[in-house]
Amino acid sequence: MSELNIGVLGIQGAYEKHALSIALAGANAEIIKYREQLDQIDGLILPGGESTTMSKMMGFRIDYKDILAFAEKKPVFGTCAGLILLGKGIDDPRIHQFELMDVSVARNAYGSQKDSFIDNLTLVFDKENPFHAVFIRAPQIENIGDDICVLATCNNTPVLIESNLYLGASFHPELTPDLRIHKYFIQKIMEVKNGKTPKSA
């Protein structure tokens, strides 16, 4: 696995912990702040943080079109605010979505910072042990398209989804020592690099 280079967008938010999880899961992690760095990575994580701020900061050292060009061929994993950016249909002019996943979300629908919670999820790809998922001002998934695979739910609402080259989580998998979701993303990157067609529903 060690020859895979995985980037974490380092514009704003919880990127350091994602990089640590990637390294612990056995791949090389790189914090991405400049567009030139995208040439050196096999997959990209859009971290949690604040989607309005990330939208505002995009366009300086790294632009939407750079990430969109990257995402045409290589896997992208959006977590929390990163999931908001991967989705579409948000009614807020401050947020610029990539529209890479057919998913619409309601921002902060689980409540404010003080309403943060942990839920035990069952991962469809590893049902043995629950995954302790941390939700912080999380976006709630409202609608998903037919091509979306649901990999985990919380109270019957999808919270971990996959389609084509993309993976999205409404929680923060980097805040727990459980590396299964990062390993799943690494596996996906490996498969794409080896020419396998990415999974769809």
Residue 84 makes contact with ligand GLN by CB under 6 A: yes
Give me the least distance between CB of 83 and ligand GLN, in Å please: 8
- The residue (of 56 and 180) whose beta carbon lies closer to ligand GLN is 56
* Ordered alpha helix ranges (H), 7-165: 15-24, 51-57, 64-71, 81-86
* Minimum gap (Å) between residue 192 Cβ and ligand GLN: 25
Beta-strand (E) ranges in 25-155?
A: 28-32, 43-46, 76-79, 103-106, 117-123, 126-135, 140-144, 149-154
**Sequence-distant contacts of 88-91: CB under 8 A, at least 24 apart:** 89/143
Element (H, E) at 190: helix 180-193
Residue 172 among the catalytic residues: yes
Which residues in the 36-55 window bind ligand GLN by CB under 6 A?
48-51
Interface with ligand GLN (CB under 6 A), residue total: 11
Write the binding mask 94 to 123 for ligand GLN: x where contact by CB under 6 A, - elsewhere.
-------------xx---------------
* Catalytic center residues: 80, 172, 174
